[in-house]
Structures are given as structure tokens and as C-alpha cells.
Chains A and B, each alone.
Chain A
Amino acid sequence: MSEDTRVGIVLVSHSAEVAASVAELAKGLAGGATAVPVAPAGGTVSGGLGTSAELVSAAAETVDRGAGVAVLADLGSAVLTVKALLAEGDELPEGTRLVDAPFLEGAVAAVVTSAAGGDLDAVEAAAADAYSHHKV
């Protein structure tokens, strides 16, 4: 897979800072994976805590290279908003998928996998597999 057709990653958090920081951390841990399109969609449009459907749709558009978009969400309204947008049918680019994964660990796994040229299934599997990496 060429560098311009990587799977896009969208990170949806209740907080703009959390989404942006996790995006930065994931890219950094992936060895500065600059070729991977990663976009944070955190907080509300007015900068408060919450989820903005508008920011999620815009982020998905910016990372879509035609290879699919993996969306990771933190909790509650972030998850529900992405699901509602997916159910709408035309609000997110084709091939956008909500990935069931822990937010930070899943984001790192997703970015690393996308950087290595993995397809959407591989990115989803790697992110979901982060649930099985126990710490004690």
C-alpha cells in the first residue's frame, strides 16, 4: 500500500486536549508516523467537554484517503455520536468504522498498524487486540 492510501484514524474524545494529545502520543510512539492521517475530534465546537458531530465528520473527511477510516471514541456521547452518524449513512466517508478498542492503547496500535501499511481490517484488529494487553 502506498503512503498516500493509508487507513485514516479519527480520535473522538470528550476533551479537545485529550484527543489532540492522544493523537500526538500515538504518532510519536509509531516513530513519528507522519504518513498516517490522524485527526483528533475532541470536545464541542465551543470548546467545552462533550462531542461534536460536526467535528467528527470534518475529522473523518480530512483523514479519508480511500482506504477506510477507523474511529476510536472514549466513552458515552462520543461512542453514541459516532454510532448515530454511521447509522445516518451519508454523514461519514464510505468505509468509516467505529473500532471497539481502549482509547489510548487502541490509538497507538491503530496508528502503528496503519503506518505499516495495514488495511482497515488489520487496523481494527490491532486496536481491538489492545484490550487483551493486561498490565498486571
Chain B
Amino acid sequence: MLDADFFRRWMTATAASVDREAERLTALDSAIGDADHGSNLQRGFTAVAAALDKEAPQTPGAVLILAGRQLISTVGGASGPLYGTLLRRTGKALGDATEVGAAQLAEALRAGVDGVMALGGAAPGDKTMIDALVPAVDALGTGFTAARTAAEEGAQATTPLQARKGRASYLGERSIGHQDPGATSSALLIAALADTAEADGE
């Protein structure tokens, strides 16, 4: 079972991973976006880690709701409300349970991803974070490691796609040939989840 501390460590691991990969995310974003994805997410997840440290929420749902709220208020770019909605919706779907199972988390993440699609209007194949998140959630039933692989493959599979959402969509065909930064950071989020679970022997 996964408790509040597990979710806090997932968020902390994501913050560390975003920190390590910030330059790569920004480089991907400078090819087809406005070159701020790495620094925006770095600022956001640094604030998430600090808030979790300070407030120590007691349930998995509360951890994710607090994290989501921090992202919405600190990121400054579109990834703030998008990732914020993902985590907050997932957190709300987990309710007040003090411990949740992997199946429950998979179901809640599905609600979170649906919330992101409703907010941004993106569907699979639009070259967005959805292209990593949907396969990850689909694979989560099989296990955390399968979810990580699915997210990474989903992110890589955005390279030949033409962007249909966000600033990259203004580039039309010129967006083809670049891996999507949002799908890449989504794969980092799922990889951090798998790392945290594997460290626990889940």
C-alpha cells in the first residue's frame, strides 16, 4: 500500500529529476516552443518540495492536491495549470484514504489525465504530455516499471508527430522531428513514480 510519505517521496524524486533534466527540457522547448519548459517546471517542483516539507499533508490525496496547487501558482507557463490539474484531480480522486493501492492510484491518475485533456483540449497524437501520460496510465495496471517504459516510449513517439496544440502548433509541419518537451517531462514524472515504487519494493 502507498501512504502519504510515498507520495511525498514521488514528488521529491520528480523535483530532483526535473532539476537534473531542466537543461534538456528547455533545449527541447527552444526547438518548438518558447524555451522555458525546464526552468518553469524547475521553479514549480522546487516550490512543491518546499511546500510538502513545510506542511506535511497526511494523506496521499492531500499531498497531490497541495503539489498541484503549488504548480498552478508558481510555474507561470501553460505547464503550471496542466500539471497542476493533473496532480490535483488525481489527488481529489484518491479522496481521504490514508493508504491507497496501485489499482486505486491507476484509476485516480486516469481521472487526472482526463482533467488535463478537458482543460487543454488535447487528444492522443497531438504531440503533447497526453502522449506519454495515456500509455503510462494504460500500463500502470501491469506495474510501475511497465508504466515508466510506456511513458518513455510515448514521449519518444512524439518526435515524428505534427503539433496540434500549444505554441508548437503555430510551427505546423516544422514541429515534426522534435520530441515534445511536455511529453518528455511527463515521462520524468512517471519514471520518478516507478523509481519510488521500486525503492520500496512495490
Contacts and interface: CB of A to CB of B under 8 A. Distances in A.
Interface of A: 44, 48, 50-54, 76-77, 80-81, 83-85, 87-88
Q: For chain B, what secondary structure do more than half of its interface residues adopt (helix, strand, loop), or is it mixed?
A: helix
Nearest to B74: A53
B120 interface: yes
Contacts of B85: 84, 87
A88 B119 CA distance: 12
24 contacts: A44-B76, A50-B40, A50-B77, A51-B76, A51-B77, A51-B80, A52-B73, A53-B80, A53-B81, A54-B73, A76-B78, A76-B166, A77-B76, A77-B78, A77-B81, A80-B81, A80-B82, A81-B72, A81-B80, A83-B81, A83-B119, A84-B119, A87-B115, A87-B119
A53 B78 contact: no
Interface of B: 36, 40, 69, 72-73, 76-82, 84-85, 88, 115, 119-120, 166-167
Contacts of B76: 44, 48, 50-52, 77
Contacts, number: 50
Contacts of A87: 85, 115, 119
B73 A80 contact: no
Contacts of A77: 76-81
